[in-house]
Structure 1
């Protein structure tokens, strides 16, 4: 239509496992897709957004994992933390040009992401806990509802949106008491698998080839996420 008014950068990958199992390559892959994807999209779009008659709007999708580091999701957390800094900095720099920049930090989203995440170390157990928690009732959020909230934040030019009550609680607690939250997260990490072997596979391959642990518990906690995977054609 001869111009660019709205840009949303949402590309990314998720790797699940201990840092030693994912290796430096895992961190580089996360930075390449999550951070560089947001960075390159922003730099390419900003000249056009500045010329928007209505004032351009840029939305960068971060994560609560970028506000509070999550064990066994460290490449993802590091890349999303960089996105958070980029969004906050661009919000300040672009304000004089009439461009608003909104940082969106979702918590757990029901999108079927467990099927496309990459799992390292004890991939069977890593897939088991992630696929259950990712769609757990009360902790996770419906993707359509999240999209509606993001559009509203974009329309209102909000500088930041944190989605799900659990994510807001975690981000606020870490901001007020970082030492305490770090200790609590460290305690939670003790129950996660400790296998550091360097083998990474996609979640759909684990689902098809290896029976994850606690199938009944996963069936209950992950039922909503499984329905989302079907609805969004993630199989």
Structure 2
């Protein structure tokens, strides 16, 4: 998974556990705490979610109601819409030719779709994120092999933060392999050959993990 997709893929791997043989995170989004500072809760966020123990979403929404959140979404979209081409240039910083007019048009279509403002506004009602510390934890999450091919020149988060997150992920636990690659936020687009080489080098770890799971000795 890349960016937000990395956060989603991590959650899926955490939920599936033994059905997942490996996880690749390219400049992944998601809450990430320093391993030295992370305190495992007595009940994980994922478990609280499954048990329905999370605080209830706004019901009814205070003061402004859902229409207020919709208006918030409209403001966000109106502010971002004119800058879509420039933002794509940041996302595809190493290969700007990939940020062409067709891609910008596809994103503009999504932003102009009826209900898009409602989606943005309703995001304010989402439950707390499960931190990557939890979803990649050997106790509460996915304990298998993780590859992090991280674009060192990420202009979305900033190069310094991208490299800092890579270093934090490397210290998260054994089994997390990090490779800094000359690329941007979409490192798999910017440097596909380097990412493919990293994946091929890492794949035997997934086979070993699958074999250990089959034997019941992860």
Give the number of the structure whose alpha-carbon radius of gyration is greater: 2
Indicate whether the TM-score tops 0.5.
Answer: no
Report the TM range for the smaller structure's normalisation. under 0.3
